[in-house]
Amino acid sequence: MSPELQSAATSLQKALASASASLVEREAVVQLVGLCAVASEHVLVIGPPGTAKSEAVRRVARALGGKYFEYLLGRFTEPTEVFGPVDLKRLKEGVVETQTDGMLPEADLAFLDEVFLGSTAILNTLLGILNERTFRRGHTRMTCPLRVCVGASNALPQDEMLAAFADRFLARIFLTPLPDARLEELLGGGWSLEKQQLEQHATLAELALLADAVKTVDVTHVRGSLAHCVRLLRQAGIQLTDRRVVRVQRLVAAAAILAGRDRATEADLWPILYALPTADAQALGRDVLGDVLRASENAALPAAAEEASLGPLARAHRLAGAAGELLDAPPEEADVMATQAWRLKLEGVAREMDAGFPPEQLPENLKTLRQRISDAVGDA
């Protein structure tokens, strides 16, 4: 991998880490949106109201830069609210043309909340933008710069016509409210979120460089494994459309690029889990593909890889990163409250290490970090 490409991948990794700061258990959402931006694919975020869907996407948009469009769709939303009004100046000249300044057709990243509530006219127009990246603005067509569109909804649609539209969103992630054990983190993170500034940003040029590199990734080595995964899923009753089977290769290639590889390996197969259509299918898919996904790892997208695979390598990468970040940035001794919060975080990481790995199976790097945590907590 060239130094320029490695630098772009590192920049994106830091930007996504900055965007997910204080978003408790939403790191995987941020990282999945980043992965889809590199792969030029779209993602659905499904979950009940109040689960930080909007906040996660907004922070990714700020971290990536470029033109951002966001809209909450409803039954009575007009196409002009999303794609732009008729250009009155051109209309006086006898030409019907849409004025797209600041609207979805000119966005680099878009977020459509309650996406399935859009009218037939809106959804049909969206299909062209999502699939071909083109928008018919009257007598002419324009090319849309859209990198990724994130759709959000409280639930997947039951209507067959809407399900066909939903199939254009390759990746899906399902959110639930945080468990009781993490309420303190939720309260602390939510309190500081509004005051927090993003410290790292990527650029559209870096994103474009990574997206171009995806097209050159050698995926031939994993096509047999990918086909094996699809067969296992079909045997379990989980069906993927041919379109999704083909396009999931883009997510695999993007995962490889962000992991620093120009040749995909079995460690990069984990995005297939996000291509499964429902929460039940993803839960079953983790069991069906358990042996295949055990090798999953991605240091740039650790939370997304871990959530997809629940594999030990992916979990170890995330825990090592979390422990190292805390241990390398201890608070001032005089700041009692900061020290207490820091200690609680370290104890949480230690508990997760203990729960996730039997002592005899704890990776060597985690053994060292686990001992450092014990020493630090004892000193604190």
Q: What is the pLDDT of residues 349-374, one digit of tens each?
A: 888 888 777 888 788 888 899 999 99
The residue extents of the domains of the chain are 3-179, 312-380
In which order are the strands placed within the sheet that holds 109-113? 68-72, 109-113, 148-153, 43-46, 171-174
- pLDDT value at residue 313: 64
CA distance linking residue 32 with residue 227, whole number of Å? 22
- pLDDT value at residue 39: 96
Reference 362, options 375, 346, 349; nearest CA is 349
- pLDDT value at residue 380: 47
In this prediction, the residues of the chain whose per-residue pLDDT falls under 70 are: 90, 92, 178-185, 189-200, 311-315, 379-380
CA distance linking residue 378 with residue 214, whole number of Å? 46
User: Which listed CATH number (2.60.40.10, 3.40.50.300, 3.30.70.1450, 3.30.450.20) goes with 3-179?
Assistant: 3.40.50.300
Q: pTM (2 decimals)?
A: 0.82
**Length of the chain in residues, anyone?**
380
